[in-house]
Amino acid sequence: MEFSLLGPVTAATAASGELPLGPAKRRSVLAMLLLQPNTTVSVAQLIDSVWEDAPPAHARTVVQGHVSRLRATLAEAGADAYGVSLATRGSAYLLRLPEPTVDTYRFGELVSRARPEEAPSEAVGLLREALGLWRGPALTGTVLTPPLAAAAHALDERRLTAVESLARAYGALGAHDRAAAALLPEAVGHPLRESLVATLMLALYRAGRRSEAIEWFHRTRRLLADDLGVDPGEALRAAYARMLAPAAGDGEARRGQWAAGDTSREQPRTGPYLWAAPQLLPRRPAGFLGRDRELAELTRLLGGPGAAPVPAAGEVALVTGPAGVGKSAFAAHWAHAHGDAFPGGRLFADLRGFSGSEEAQPCEVLREFLLALGTPGDRIPASQQAASALYRSIVAGRQLLVVLDNARSSAQVRPLLPAGAQCATIVTSRSRLDGLVATDSARPLRLRSLGTADGVALLGTVLGPDRVAEEPDAAAELVALCDGLPLALRAAAAQLTARPRWRLARLAAALRDERQRLALLSAEDTGVAAALRASAARLSEDDARLLSALGTGFTRVVDASAVAALAGADPDVTRYGLDRLAEMHLVDEEATGRYVMSDLVKLFAQRPTAPPD
């Protein structure tokens, strides 16, 4: 079980995923308990954290209700097995838990072990890991009350201190360009933090960008005078003096010249606001492996000639593939691996195109993006067109990565595409989104099922390599029965994890029974059947009937003419229907007029629930 405060307040387990924590007030109660783990927190403290103004007469009862629901949610997720419990202590509550389950504790441990000056290489790794725990502004999703606002500010101060330490570690290694890349977005977001700006000035200066460093001094001096009525402090003055009169033989201004196209050349934005550098990516996917060729191809599509992207062409990469092939994890893994190339921030949105729920509206996503970029809520336009224009103008000069996951249509994506040659966009979808390729020059990348070796390795990451190595033939058969789909393989591994005495061969034998295969490849509300059901729900009635006919009346490989003849339908109409199924990756066009359906899709298509309701 893991609790997160460094971004949205969440609780999650490997088995259940993110837990439903409920409304903002309930998350606020949990946040206050997590900020003081293994310590009693009085009801009075919790009331102060939940109501911005004077609390109502029944405040104590409301808090008790929120605690009761949190306790039930934790119990349903098996909290006891993780050593987590929420107990009542008189007029207070005690949340017992192993401290490493809270991301703030892990963050503090990593930062405390880093020694930027004494061991800079090790410090870089520790501090990057620590900063990677942040997923946005601290305590997102809670009520903005003074206690929680103060706690969020304190956490952000710790983050900024860690960023400054990371810059010092880079500086000790002579990587002044990397130091500047780490500091630039933070200085833009915190223009009056003098220690941060002073560190940035020296990093820019040592990287050979003296004029930019001097500009930062004068900009900060003007802000201090206009906003606070004070002069620059000692840190800023000392950094400025050092740039103007370097010691003999120092040579700082001649070291670390930046190469053309370096990914850290982002100019601070001027204008009515100083925009923040958001980090909205979801957690790095656990157990991700393989896909080396596809990862390298995605880097190439986004403008990188080698192992690192160079966001200098405003490219849009379109990652497509069938349900369960791992598109979301693939995009998130790449985004985390190349985060340093985008000092302007990383935006992420689940567009819910095939999630079984209502798809996200562009205006809803634009508002989230603009808020994350530092736009005051009252300055966000109500109309989608105006909000999209503001969004494009803000990010035009940034080196920004935008990940638009689970898109349903090209029309849903277009308002969210950033303008500017230094932005890069990754779109994932089960649909080919041919319109996005035609009108926005999106560069497609198709993800296919895993091969046997990678599929067996994926089983090993969940079950342990020893358990898989004991039955190599059964493991390979499981991969085949799962069509090499990561989602199906993880569901199969979940079945074996829940039954530690089962051998792999026993599950393989059960999966050979086509009547129960889809049921076995499911875990609670997720699995192959649920994913395919969400895809089928997007089909028209005619296409759903065609899919059902393919599942019940044909082999895995079909010919468009044969399908039309059996159905007594017009061959062109049938071919258009098959093309639409191929567009949704429910079938594959192997050759002109020849289509292939995977075993799992065929089994799903035979079910009476395959057509839409």
CATH of the domain at 24: 1.10.10.10
Rg, Å, the chain Cα set:
27
Domain boundary among 186, 218, 244: 244
pLDDT band at 287 (very low <50, low <70, confident <90, very high): confident
Residue 528: predicted pLDDT: 87
Asked if 375 and 442 sit in the same domain, the reply is yes
Angle at Cα 145 formed by Cα 3 and Cα 50, nearest 5°?
65
- In the chain, what percentage of residues exceed pLDDT 70? 91
Residue 254: predicted pLDDT: 36
SS (H, E, C) 11-78: EEECCCEECCCCCHHHHHHHHHHHHCCCCEEEHHHHHHHHCCCCCCCCHHHHHHHHHHHHHHHHHHCC
Residue 503: other Cβ atoms inside 10 A? 14
Residue 584: predicted pLDDT: 87
Cβ within 8 Å of residue 59, ≥6 positions away: 47, 50, 51
**Straight-line distance from the first to the last Cα atom of the chain, in angstroms, rounded to the nearest whole number:** 37
- Residue 270 belongs to a domain: no
Chain mean position to CA 612? 30
Q: Is 436 helix (H, G, I), strand (E, B) or coil?
A: helix
- Residue 52 belongs to a domain: yes
Range(s) of the domain holding residue 576: 532-605
- Residue 278 belongs to a domain: no
- In the chain, what percentage of residues exceed pLDDT 90? 41
Residue 276: predicted pLDDT: 53
pLDDT at 499 exceeding the cut of 90: no
Segment 312-320 shows an average pLDDT of: 83
Q: What is the mean pLDDT of the chain?
A: 85
DSSP 116-159: TTTSHHHHHHHHHHHHTT--SSTTBTS---HHHHHHHHHHHHHH
pLDDT at 609 exceeding the cut of 80: no
Give the Cα separation of 362 and 387 in Å (integer): 10
pLDDT at 590 exceeding the cut of 90: no
Residue 310: predicted pLDDT: 53
Number of structural domains, the chain?
5
H or E segment and range at residue 428 = strand 424-429
Q: What are phi and psi of 184, to 5 degrees?
A: -55, -55
- Residue 284 belongs to a domain: no
Give the Cα separation of 570 and 561 in Å (integer): 9
pLDDT band at 331 (very low <50, low <70, confident <90, very high): very high
H or E segment and range at residue 427 = strand 424-429
pLDDT in tens, 418-476: 987 788 999 999 999 999 999 888 999 999 999 999 999 999 988 988 999 999 999 99
pLDDT band at 483 (very low <50, low <70, confident <90, very high): very high
- Residue 490 belongs to a domain: yes
- Residue 396 belongs to a domain: yes
Asked if 332 and 383 sit in the same domain, the reply is yes
H or E segment and range at residue 435 = helix 434-440
Segment 265-269 shows an average pLDDT of: 37
Residue 527: predicted pLDDT: 82
Segment 167-176 shows an average pLDDT of: 92
| Beta pairing, strands 401-405 & 40-42 | unpaired
Segment 496-525 shows an average pLDDT of: 88
Domain boundary among 212, 244, 276: 244
Residue 232: predicted pLDDT: 87
pLDDT at 230 exceeding the cut of 80: yes
pLDDT at 71 exceeding the cut of 50: yes
Domain boundary among 244, 261, 281: 244
- Residue 167 belongs to a domain: no
Asked if 13 and 139 sit in the same domain, the reply is yes
Segment 135-141 shows an average pLDDT of: 88
Asked if 133 and 9 sit in the same domain, the reply is yes
Asked if 545 and 406 sit in the same domain, the reply is no
pLDDT in tens, 565-587: 776 677 788 888 888 888 888 98
Asked if 301 and 191 sit in the same domain, the reply is no
Report which residue type is found at 247. A
Structure tokens, 526: 């997720």
Structure tokens, 550: 């393919």
Structure tokens, 409: 């249509």
pLDDT band at 15 (very low <50, low <70, confident <90, very high): confident
pLDDT band at 259 (very low <50, low <70, confident <90, very high): very low
Strand order in the sheet with 443-446: 346-350, 401-405, 424-429, 316-320, 443-446
Strands (E), 314-368: 316-320, 346-350
Single out the residue of 318, 331, 323 nearest to residue 282, CA to CA. Answer: 331
By mean pLDDT, which of 202-211, 330-339, 454-463, 517-526 is the weakest? Answer: 517-526
pLDDT in tens, 202-215: 999 998 888 888 88
By mean pLDDT, which of 86-100, 400-414, 523-537 is the weakest? Answer: 523-537
Chain mean position to CA 22? 21
pLDDT at 251 exceeding the cut of 80: no
pLDDT in tens, 106-129: 999 999 999 998 999 999 999 999
Residue 612: predicted pLDDT: 40
Single out the residue of 386, 443, 438, 433 nearest to residue 413, CA to CA. Answer: 433
Single out the residue of 61, 10, 67, 2 nearest to residue 40, CA to CA. Answer: 67
Segment 86-105 shows an average pLDDT of: 92
pTM of the entire predicted model: 0.56
Segment 27-43 shows an average pLDDT of: 92
| Beta pairing, strands 424-429 & 443-446 | unpaired
Asked if 69 and 189 sit in the same domain, the reply is no
Residue 385: predicted pLDDT: 85
Give the Cα separation of 416 and 413 in Å (integer): 5
SS (H, E, C) 152-221: HHHHHHHHHHHHHHHHHHHHHCCCHHHHHHHHHHHHHHCCCCHHHHHHHHHHHHHCCCHHHHHHHHHHHH
Cβ within 8 Å of residue 543, ≥6 positions away: 577, 580, 581
Segment 352-379 shows an average pLDDT of: 85
pLDDT at 417 exceeding the cut of 60: yes
